[in-house]
Amino acid sequence: GQQVMQIPQYQHVQEGEDFTTYCNSSTTLSNIQWYKQRPGGHPVFLIQLVKSGEVKKQKRLTFQFGEAKKNSSLHITATQTTDVGTYFCAGYNAGNNRKLIWGLGTSLAVNP
Amino acid sequence: SAVISQKPSRDICQRGTSLTIQCQVDSQVTMMFWYRQQPGQSLTLIATANQGSEATYESGFVIDKFPISRPNLTFSTLTVSNMSPEDSSIYLCSVVWANPYEQYFGPGTRLTVT
């Protein structure tokens, strides 16, 4: 079945360092979404990417969708302690928008 | 965005009993989903709750174990039946409100089965 792989699984950074998580699908996606889950919290929608090669920015966060629509990345510039949490990518398989396929997540720890 | 509440927020249950989790949304939504999330793990879709008809279950989940109701566009329940310790998990409802691809999650129900 379709899989969405996410790396790394864990990342520890010093506050102020940059952070990147990568998401790779075995099949072409119609769109990809990113969610953030704080410790003890629930997933919160961050952004959706639809177009091939699309790049979107939210303050210190930069999201990219690959040209082949099979991979995506989230980059955080100058991390802060408020960035702590698990970042999930999730995508819909092209031609089947019924079920969202979730990545395993990347847990980010930020040392002050 | 929609405001989603879940009841109970947590519970400790005995093996063999059943627990019904409620999900209430403050506005009408097009789609509602039920997920399970083990601590430190990703989300697993249990089923799509369909208004006025039977839920659509994902592979590995059956109606007898996880009966779901959705009587209207703002409310759904998930029952975890005949519970075993393996059912200990966080159960989350999510909704699609306006944008068809953005999912909004409830705060979750933390279930422990002893």
B97 has pLDDT over 80: no
CA atoms of A79 and A18, how far apart (whole Å): 6
In degrees rounded to 5, what are phi and psi of residue B87? -85, -5
> Token digits for B30?
């097009």
- pLDDT tens column, B12-64: 999 999 999 999 999 998 889 999 999 889 999 999 998 888 899 999 999 99
CA atoms of B97 and B2, how far apart (whole Å): 7
Helix count (H) and strand count (E) of chain A?
0, 11
- Partner-chain contact B42 A99, CB within 8 Å: no
Q: Which pLDDT does position A1 carry in this prediction?
A: 59
DSSP string for A35-89 = EEE-TTS--EEEEEE-STT-EEEETTEEEEE-TTSSEEEEEESS--GGG-EEEEE
- pLDDT tens column, A62-82: 999 999 999 999 999 999 999
Mean pLDDT value across residues A6-26:
97
- Partner-chain contact A42 B107, CB within 8 Å: yes
E strands, chain B, are 4-7, 10-13, 19-25, 31-37, 43-49, 56-57, 68-72, 75-80, 89-96, 103-105, 109-113
CA atoms of A32 and B3, how far apart (whole Å): 23
CA distances from A18 to A35, A88, A96, A110 (A): 18, 18, 35, 10
- On whether any CB of chain A is under 8 Å from the CB of B101, the answer is yes
> Token digits for A44?
């919160």
- Partner-chain contact A100 B45, CB within 8 Å: yes
- Partner-chain contact A99 B58, CB within 8 Å: yes
Q: Which pLDDT does position A2 carry in this prediction?
A: 65
What length is written for chain B?
A: 114
Chain A contacts in chain B segment 23-42 (CB below 8 A): 40-42
Average pLDDT along chain A: 94
Nearest CA to B61 out of B48, B77, B74, B76 is that of: B48
